Amino acid sequence: MSQAPIITPITLRGAAGKLAAWEVEPPAGTERRGTALLVPGFTGSKEDFEEMLPLLAAAGYRAVAYDQRGQWESDGPDEVSGYTLVDFVGDLLGVVDQISPTEPIHLVGHSFGGYVSRVAVIERPQRFRSFTLLASGPSSVADINFPPPLLVAQAVEAGGQEVIWEQMDAVMAQADQQPAPQRREFLRERILRTKKANIIGILTCMAEPPVKDPAVLRDSGVPLLVAYGDTADLWAPEVHERFAKQLNAKTAVYHGSGHVPNEDVPAQVSADLVAFWKEQA
């Protein structure tokens, strides 16, 4: 019987210092099908994919996730100027070159991680075998259930990371989705340890669509998948569906899931990714 895949902490290099990451290798004897990179979103981290990474590895994929600059356990500058979309994209492309110097990889971007990822795909499409937008809609300024990003940035500037935590905690309480005490403490600590400049920088990035014309991403030649939950996501299902049509992308819908299907239904998301990736073999 083959051993279950094990998550291994690794350190990657970013332009602003070390990037904390997790890596899972396929079990011995499993056919190796390639490498997958999963990129977390706003206030997220590699832990957002904790349940998915071993499942992807069991299917034959070396799976890697990392904290973006200034998130959780990764280094990052203290100045907001060090958190432009160019900075995030540069880190992502550097990570790709570190984990797979010659072979193209499968890329998954969750929420803001999808913003960063779509720019990377446009800049260097030859480095990607596929790209999945996971709960990552077209923009954060229209057709989204989120306050104007620059207004949130002003609140964080005045009140610090605690402002974001209080908002998140209130939303979970109103939705009757309060996590277990240990999980709640992790979520709080992660936000408080994420650099204030990271949070304000990402919110500033979110004030503009990452790609103004979907045709640019569509015409990259990289196979695309738009995957999303149909309940209480930041973007309504019809927004995701319209975006997918503009991109000529396949879709995967998670009924009853919200903005984090990677945590709500990790087995289903993983199975859909594997099926999509096998089509690109």
Element (H, E) at 51: none
pLDDT at 181: 87
pLDDT at 210: 94
Bridge partners, residue 109, by sequence: 39, 133
pTM: predicted TM-score of the whole model, two decimal places: 0.96
pLDDT at 130: 98
pLDDT at 11: 98
Return the number of other C-beta atoms located less than 10 Å from residue 60's C-beta.
16
pLDDT at 180: 85
Q: How far apart are the first and last CA of the chain?
A: 27
User: How far, CA to CA in Å, does 204 sit from each of 83, 182, 265?
Assistant: 9, 31, 30
Q: Is 3.40.470.10 the CATH classification of the domain at 8-145+211-279?
A: no
Structural domain spans, the chain:
8-145+211-279
User: How far, CA to CA in Å, does 72 sit from each of 21, 66, 221?
Assistant: 11, 10, 34
Return the number of other C-beta atoms located less than 10 Å from residue 51's C-beta.
16
Per-residue pLDDT of the chain (281 residues; tens, 9 = 90+): 557 789 999 999 999 999 999 999 999 999 999 999 999 999 999 999 999 999 999 999 999 999 999 999 999 999 999 999 999 999 999 999 999 999 999 999 999 999 999 999 999 999 999 999 999 999 999 999 999 999 999 999 999 999 989 888 887 776 666 778 898 899 999 999 999 999 999 999 999 999 999 999 999 999 999 999 999 899 999 999 999 999 999 999 999 999 999 999 999 999 999 999 999 87
pLDDT at 232: 86
pLDDT at 175: 62
